[in-house]
Amino acid sequence: MEDNQAQSETPIVADQYAEKAAELSKQYNCKVTPFVFKDESGAEIVGYIKEPNRATKLRIIDKSYTGSPISSSSDVLDVYLVAEASDPRILSDDTYYLGACKVAYNLVQLAVDQYKKK
């Protein structure tokens, strides 16, 4: 899979992974969101990420304004990825890791967008 392909595709959150995310949410006592990438053969690469706390979201937003959104998202991914439930290639393959960083950043952006609507 090409690097730009993983970054340009929007991860699809599949209903079939919602049950596992709900179990993980109970286990970790926080919201856990599933995300899915497809590899070059069409096989799904599934990851689960815990929702970052408020301070972490603020840090990502601040860094995004200073030109470092992906590096701050990488920090979040390293801490909030539920590694034992996620496909190991997310941490071992840069293509999938960068895609997952984008998911972490988008999670924060979604929270900010929801706040703006209130």
**What is the DSSP code string of 76-104?**
HHHHHB-GGGS-THHHH-HHHHHHHHHHH
Q: What is the pLDDT of residues 59-80, one digit of tens each?
A: 877 887 787 778 888 888 899 9
pTM: 0.75
Find residue 32's DSSP bridge partners.
50
Enter the tokens of residue 73.
């998202």
> Which domains, ranges and CATH numbers included, belong to the chain?
3-117 (3.30.2220.10)
pLDDT for the residue 83: 96
Q: What is the pLDDT of residues 90-110, one digit of tens each?
A: 999 998 998 888 887 887 777
> Does residue 114 have a pLDDT over 80?
no
Enter the tokens of residue 75.
């920090």
> What mean pLDDT is predicted for residues 47-59?
87
